[in-house]
Structure 1
């Protein structure tokens, strides 16, 4: 399965969380970030064409996203919460 991401973070979120997370994903997983003020059909179209038109880039982005993935994250979080509840009861 091929995985790649283009993020358009909202500037209207407290403390710029979406902006920070989008650029973190760009660093970690090779995602593309287009800020809302840069976003238009041309910019988005160019980003999509760049990614889909370059097999090496597409494979690299996919692999980096898979390497960064934490598929068991929700189970790990639940276990940690239950251990905290157990400690406090």
Structure 2
């Protein structure tokens, strides 16, 4: 589960970074908290926050910190131009 969380964090921060470079002004996160407790069900584990209602506990996942850090790093920056590469076959 830890590797999945780390991979998700990496992918989330890459998405935010790529959208920033493309000039997309907003990033939509599919699910801010988990929908269930079954760790084998991917649909239950998309959230940035693990929500254990029965234990009244919320656990911040690595993906949340990844997004937080990339947004904090990019704060105040703007993309002036983009580089387009032509690939010839």
Query: TM-score normalised by the shorter chain: which range applies?
Result: under 0.3
More strand by share: 2
- Calculate the TM-score normalised by the size of structure 2: 0.26
More helix by share: 1
Largest Rg, 1 or 2: 1
